[in-house]
Amino acid sequence: MDDPVIALDGVEKVFDVRRKVGRMRRERQEVRAVDGLTFTVPRGEMVGYIGPNGAGKSTTIKMLTGILNPSAGRIRICGIDPTRERTRLARRIGVVFGQRTTLWWDLPLRDSYQLVRRMYRIADARYAANLDACVELLELGPLLDVPVRQLSLGQRMRGDIAAALLHDPEVLYLDEPTIGLDVISKARVRDFLRTVNSERGTTVLLTTHDLTDIETLCRRVMVIDQGRLMYDGGLAGLHAVGESERTLVVDFAQELPPAEVDGARCVRVEGPRQWLAFPAAASAAPLVSALAAGYPLVDLSIREPAIEDVIARMYGADRA
Ligand SMILES: Nc1ncnc2c1ncn2[C@@H]1O[C@H](COP(=O)(O)OP(=O)(O)O)[C@@H](O)[C@H]1O
Ligand SMILES: [Mg+2]
């Protein structure tokens, strides 16, 4: 019963790439996209899976769904080997690729969902209940009769996420589900994922470039770089390792000299707006109250450090 839902042991993926050398010659080259990954995810956990571009995140997810076969190592999802039983696995997992839709471009969302229902042979009552829940939580009602190609990116993404959940998967893989979305769409997607994870107990593996996604959703984060697992733990721990900083962006009622508050330093001033850097592992609350007490504070927001910066700092200055 306590078996992990996702289990990888020494997983590798090597691509054989033919590269052009000069005009005529082509050279064979091996790309180690995933290089010895070992980790497990217990049932019900929501894990962040982050890393720079080309780190091997999408390749990992494709292997976990059975789209790609590993070159070496062992994968079990809900006890199933994705390579050998891809179809049986498909009933247990849902997957969303932010860069690509799984919906039918020319069909209204409603028809796409009917096709998903038939593909997975979802029982009527269950389908209706799941669709209702998704439509309500993702606010899809007004969009159901709109062809997918007419949806905005944020609307389409919500439509895609619903499509991935209609068959009640135990595991949900999300590959950059918030990429390119505006702040409000991101918030909606996050709220929905949190609900799915807590109410259905769905195990979630979330790839993202936005550390705010991780901050709001995941207690555990795995960092992958060049196909290897570099860090596995809490986000605060990752920030502590990298000594990274978050930024408080504050708007004052008027232009002021750089604000002076304990625990932060002013790194930029532009008219009435100032940027205050503080250690990412620290709480913003005391800073905010100090600012509110001593300054004519109008508005504020917090910026997470870029993933690339956090990871670069993990290695120290020698890695440009
Ligand atoms: N089908 C493929 N053929 C050859 N190389 C690939 C293929 N897919 C990915 N790669 C390479 O594998 C590495 C990891 O890619 P990917 O998993 O997409 O990274 P990420 O999702 O972390 O940005 C990159 O160097 C990429 O160019
Ligand atoms: Mg990717």
Nearest atom, ligand 1, residue 224 CA = 22
Model pLDDT for residues 95-147, shown as the tens digit of each residue? 999 888 889 999 999 999 999 999 999 999 999 999 999 999 999 999 999 99
Output the pTM of the full model. 0.85
Exposed e or buried b per residue across 72-90, where buried means at least 16 C-beta atoms within 10 angstroms of its C-beta: ebebbbbebebeeeeeebb
pLDDT of residue 5: 97
222-235 pLDDT, tens digit per residue, is 999 999 999 999 98
For the CA of 53, the nearest atom of ligand 1 = 23
Complete DSSP assignment for the chain: ----SEEEEEEEEEEEEEEEETTTEEEEEEEEEEEEEEEEE-TT-EEEEE-STTSSHHHHHHHHHTSS--SEEEEEETTB-TTT-HHHHHTTEEEEETTS--S-TTSBHHHHHHHHHHHHT--HHHHHHHHHHHHHHTT-GGGTTSBGGGS-HHHHHHHHHHHHHTT--SEEEEESTTTT--HHHHHHHHHHHHHIIIII--EEEEE-S-HHHHHHH-SEEEEEETTEEEEEE-HHHHHHHHT-EEEEEEEESS--SPP--TT-EEEEEETTEEEEEEETTS-SHHHHHHHHHHS-EEEEEEEPPPHHHHHHHHH-TT--
Q: Give the residue whose CA is nearest to atom 8 of ligand 1.
A: 59
Residues 224-272: tens digit of each pLDDT: 999 999 999 998 888 777 778 889 999 999 999 999 999 999 999 999 9
Kindly give the distance from the C-alpha atom of residue 55 to the centroid of ligand 2, in angstroms, as a whole number: 8
Ligand nearest to the CA of 227: 1
